[in-house]
């Protein structure tokens, strides 16, 4: 039997198992949701999208982030493996981002008869093999670069339950964890002699985390309908805190200023219809991220940066504050607020084009003449994002952003782009 005839015969046999996706010019049209199976046509031929079990996921995500004009970091490759387990009986929960150098793992289970209460264990590590420095107005401050990282474990108790619309990633959780950890520091190749390096230290953190995720996601795992909310409260104390820094650079931090810190962060995502447009192909997505802290430094403050744009995606990364146009983790503010509005159009059941604008308020280091000062600032940006199914059941994402108030090469205005691919394995 010719291959084409065999393909059509198999498609015809499979078709009754899936609902038929209405054509985009028919009304009402329903955008396919993540994990759904359905029957449609593609390039004039019958085509079946197989249902996907989203209670058990093994996936990889890799890409390249470009930030032209950023000194010593214009192109940054990244990648990680992602593991998710949340069976239908909610007996346990696993979320793991594994990147070898950076890892974030949370495992929880319900003791017999205790459901929905749970026992939680976690592991969070960052052990880069290269030196890292901060950027001020797009320029890396080589004299303050360090070799540093952390290893942090956690144990705690919490509450977790499924919420409507009932998909594998729709949940309400509230957890309290005790997180002992170890921070280490060392001089980099270009660290100035005047820079005082922090002492290695044990650290104890108490963290309360709450998540509410009622988002429906489309076929490429972007927010389509619903809301997601979350908040984190962290208290931390370093056992062997020491002063560090350089008064002639970005400043010197006394021991009393960094021994204890408190951080509160929160976020919200809302995906809905475009007003006065009666079609699911058009979506409006609004996001908010904010935070305030006391006693934080570059080793404990929240990080704000640009691509990859994880807003409205996988439930664990929605909390990450994104400022399109910025470099990855470019800022470490004591306080910030970021609001964004995006319009998305469904080009096809597997392809979505999105554009939007972001406005942020935060405190950051910047140059004033030859000096580095920290001041409150307002930053604005625009972005365009194409997310599509690709070859071999992969997902391809192409993004461009422009930050109007960011500084690169001494001038205001910063471009950023990303090429990102992901797939199950």
Instruction: Pick left, alpha or beta for residue 393 (phi over 0 → left; psi -120 to 50 → alpha; otherwise beta).
Output: left
Q: How far is CA 23 from CA 40, 181, 348, in A?
A: 8, 54, 10
- Tally of domains within the chain: 2
Q: How far is CA 76 from CA 14, 79, 100, 146, in A?
A: 43, 10, 16, 19
Q: Which helix (H) or strand (E) holds 5?
A: helix 3-14
Regions of the chain where pLDDT drops below 50: 1-17
What pLDDT is attached to residue 11?
Answer: 35
Same domain assignment for residues 17 and 141: no
Same domain assignment for residues 149 and 47: no
Q: Six-digit token pair at 396?
A: 């391809």
Domain limits for position 1: 1-52
Burial grade of 99 (CB within 10 A; 0-12, 13-18, 19 or more) = middle
Phi, psi of 297 (to 5 degrees): -135, -165
What pLDDT is attached to residue 72?
Answer: 78
Same domain assignment for residues 40 and 141: no
Same domain assignment for residues 146 and 35: no
Per the CB < 8 A criterion, the answer to whether 309 and 318 are in contact is no
Same domain assignment for residues 79 and 199: yes
Same domain assignment for residues 269 and 364: yes
Same domain assignment for residues 164 and 84: yes
Per the CB < 8 A criterion, the answer to whether 22 and 32 are in contact is no
Same domain assignment for residues 146 and 20: no
Same domain assignment for residues 1 and 122: no
Q: Six-digit token pair at 316?
A: 């664990």
Does residue 8 sit in helix, strand or coil?
Answer: helix
Same domain assignment for residues 47 and 77: no
pTM for this entry? 0.91
Instruction: List % helix, strand, coil for the chain (3-state, nearest 5).
Output: 5, 60, 35
How many Cα atoms sit within 13 Å of 420 on the Cβ side?
Answer: 22
Query: DSSP assignment of 72-96, as one string?
Result: T-SEEEEEEEEEEE--TT--EEEEE
Query: DSSP assignment of 98-140, as one string?
Result: E-SSEEEEEEEEPPTT-TTEEEEEEEEEE--SS-B--EETTEE
Same domain assignment for residues 57 and 206: yes
List the CATH number of the domain containing 298: 2.40.160.50
pLDDT digits (tens, 9 = 90+) for 104-163: 999 999 998 888 999 999 999 999 999 999 999 999 999 999 999 999 999 999 999 999
What is the DSSP pairing of strand 171-187 with strand 251-253? unpaired
Residue 393: how many other CB atoms lie within 10 Å: 11
Q: Six-digit token pair at 233?
A: 């409260």
Radius of gyration of the chain (CA): 23
Q: How far is CA 280 from CA 112, 284, 312, 313, in A?
A: 43, 10, 17, 18
Same domain assignment for residues 169 and 33: no
Using alpha carbons only, what angle is made at residue 287 by residues 68 and 207, rounded to the nearest 5 degrees? 95
What pLDDT is attached to residue 95?
Answer: 97
Per the CB < 8 A criterion, the answer to whether 105 and 93 are in contact is no
Q: Six-digit token pair at 40?
A: 């449609």
């Amino acid at each position: 039997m010719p291959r084409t005839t065999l393909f059509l015969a198999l498609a015809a046999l499979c078709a009754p198992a899936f609902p038929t996706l209405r054509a985009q010019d028919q009304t009402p049209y329903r955008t396919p949701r993540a994990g759904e199976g359905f029957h449609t046509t593609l390039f004039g031929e019958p085509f079946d999208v197989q249902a996907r079990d989203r209670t058990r996921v093994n996936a990889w995500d890799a890409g390249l982030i470009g930030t032209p004009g950023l000194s010593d970091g214009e192109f940054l490759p990244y990648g990680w493996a992602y593991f998710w387990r949340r069976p239908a009986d909610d007996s346990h929960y696993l979320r793991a981002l594994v990147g070898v150098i950076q890892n974030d793992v949370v495992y929880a289970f319900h003791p017999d008869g205790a459901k929905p209460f749970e026992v939680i264990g976690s592991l969070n590590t960052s052990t880069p093999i290269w030196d890292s420095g901060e950027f001020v107005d797009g320029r890396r401050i080589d004299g303050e670069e360090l070799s540093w990282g952390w290893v942090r474990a956690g144990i705690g108790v919490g509450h977790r339950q499924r919420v409507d619309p009932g998909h594998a990633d729709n949940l309400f959780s509230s957890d309290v964890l005790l997180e002992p950890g170890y921070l280490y520091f060392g001089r980099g190749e270009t660290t100035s002699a005047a820079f005082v390096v922090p002492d290695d230290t044990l650290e104890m953190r108490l963290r309360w985390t709450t998540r509410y995720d009622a988002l429906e996601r489309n076929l490429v795992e972007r927010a389509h309908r619903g809301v997601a909310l979350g908040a984190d409260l962290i208290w931390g104390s370093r056992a062997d805190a020491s002063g560090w820094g350089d008064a002639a650079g970005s400043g010197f931090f006394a021991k009393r200023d960094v021994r204890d810190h408190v951080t509160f962060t929160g976020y919200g995502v809302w995906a809905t219809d475009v007003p006065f447009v009666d079609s699911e192909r058009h979506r409006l997505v609004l996001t908010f991220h904010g935070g305030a802290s006391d006693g934080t430094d570059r080793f404990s403050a929240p990080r704000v940066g640009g691509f990859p744009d994880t807003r409205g995606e996988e439930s664990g990364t929605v909390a990450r504050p994104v400022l399109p146009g910025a470099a990855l983790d470019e800022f470490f503010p004591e306080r910030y607020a970021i609001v964004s509005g995006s319009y998305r159009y469904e080009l096809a059941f597997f392809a979505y084009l999105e554009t939007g604008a972001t406005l942020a308020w935060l405190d950051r280091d910047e140059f004033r003449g030859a000096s580095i000062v920290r001041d409150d600032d307002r930053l604005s940006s625009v972005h365009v994002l194409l997310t599509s199914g690709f070859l071999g059941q992969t997902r391809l994402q192409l993004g461009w952003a422009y930050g109007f108030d960011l500084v690169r090469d001494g001038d205001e205005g910063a471009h950023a782009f990303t090429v990102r691919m992901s797939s199950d394995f």
